[in-house]
Structure 1
Amino acid sequence: MPERYRSIIDVHVILERGQEILLLERQGTGYCDGMLHLPSGHLDEGETITDGAAREAHEEVGVRIDSADLRLVTVVHHRQRADLARVGMFFATSRWDGEPHNAEPHKCGKLLWCDPAVLPSNTIDYPAAGIASYLSNTPFTVHNW
């Protein structure tokens, strides 16, 4: 019997400030360094998806988010390469405690507040697909298949 399909679950957080969202410049990670991404990461074993999203936002940009303040805005089934797919859960919120700052300078060059409708050209395509779905109120997107 074939093994059941398994996928990595990613959690992404869209911090909304007026008409802008927060992006991070990756640095020193070996994956898309110099490119922009949302506060995000992998879901850890034993945590809920919303708790994972709140944890990643805290680890990367130092803000505390009540998981009840996160709204699921889209899901992206992303194919990273032929043998690796991921399911990205994209949450948005305009409520958090603390001022966003670079809490992981060994992984992040800088933070940028950007217009989500006009993303910088160096935005990684996977989160850009999630942001586009968020803007168009599309609940589910298949990307890079």
Structure 2
Amino acid sequence: MVPDRRGREPGDRSLAETVRRELREEAGLDIPDLVPFAMEKARSSDGTAVPIQIFAGQWNGDPASLPLSEGVMLHWFRPDVMPRLRMTPSTLDLIRRHADTHPIAQRTPRPRPRPARVLTAGGSAVRNGIGVHLYLENADGEVLLGLRHPDSAYAGSTWHFLAGHCEQESALSCLVREAEEEAGLLIEPGDVQLAHVVHLVDPPGGTPLMQMIFRARQWSGTPQVREPDKCTGWDWWHPDELPAPIVPYTRAAIEGIRAGCLYTEMGWS
């Protein structure tokens, strides 16, 4: 969405062109077909009403593959899941209105994402997504895992590390942020060390992911469910008695850490 002419630059011939330019600059997305959907109004800090034109478009890629440049994180969510997310009521109402007038969008499955190919000076390259994961052990040698929500876009009803994708930030900053946002745990970057890396392709031919698992030597706080749309509960598990189902690369990383191995590959032919 773009507010009136203050969002436009001299070279933009229309608001739709402004949106397309912003999508290219902020996310590396090229969406040529944008359709005006609604006109909303917002209040600026001085009380002035600001018109906001909302456009609708279609894209079927993998958000983790996008070269995000302005500190945001993108993810797919179905409309029926969105009431559990933290968002403004006006945004939720807007999405519901679009879903009600475009019901086919809720029934049509998205194709499997393909690796994002980004033009470089030397030709083309495949970008790898970066994920960070928290490995915590308690005094009994048990590992902290969370049970993902049944409607989670990834690994629903499956046990997994506390995890997140890097935004415009360092891996350690991402880890510290995710630990507090998801579980209310406070961790100092100086108390963290890299424990294992899984270079993963899932599904075969999909976007490569570099999954970094960090061990925190100490932390403060008791794990609590802070984002119920992602995780329904935290629990401690002994590495010899891991729960099922569990994300395969989570198990592989725990086994690698116990074996003193720093690196694992999965899904590569």
Q: Mark yes or no: TM-score above 0.5.
A: yes
Structure 1 match to 2:53: none
Match of 1:105 in 2: 228
| Residues 1:123 and 2:250 aligned together | no
Q: Note the residue ranges of structure 2 that are not aligned, 5 or more in a row.
A: 1-121
- Could you tell me which residue of structure 2 aligns to residue 52 of structure 1? 174
The DSSP-based 3-state class of the residue aligned with 1:122 is: coil
2:221 counterpart SS class:
coil
- State the shift of 1:30 in Å: 2.8
Bigger mean CA deviation after superposition, 67-76 or 91-100: 91-100
2: distance between equivalents of 1:94 and 1:117? Answer: 21
| Distance in structure 1 (CA, Å) of the matches to 2:142 and 2:127 | 34
**1:1-145 paired onto structure 2 within 5 Å:** 1-18=122-139, 19-27=141-149, 28-45=151-168, 47-81=169-203, 82-145=205-268
Higher RCO, 1 or 2 (CA under 8 Å, sep at least 6)? 1
Count of paired positions = 144
In the other structure, the counterpart of 2:97 is none
- Say which is worse superposed, 6-15 or 93-102, in terms of deviation: 93-102
Counterpart residue type for residue 6 of structure 1: R
Decide which structure has greater strand share.
1
Conserved? CA contact 1:17–1:94, under 8 Å: no
Inter-partner Cα distance in structure 1 for 2:144 and 2:257: 14
Is there any run of 5+ residues in structure 1 with no aligned partner, and where?
none
Aligned partners of 2:187, 2:240: CA distance in 1, in Å? 24
Give the superposition deviation at 1:50: 1.0
Query: Displacement of 1:74 after TM fit?
Result: 0.9
User: Identity over aligned residues, as a percent?
Assistant: 31
1:121-143 Cα shifts (integer Å, max 9, x gaps): 21110211111111111111111
- For 2:194 and 2:163, the matched residues in 1 are separated by 14
Letter in 2 for 1:31: Y
Q: TM-score, normalised by structure 1?
A: 0.93
Greater share of residues in helix: 2
Q: Any idea what SS the aligned residue of 1:97 has?
A: coil
TM-score (ref. length: structure 2): 0.51
- The letter for the 1-side match of 2:132 is V
> Segments of 4+ in structure 1 off by > 4 A?
none
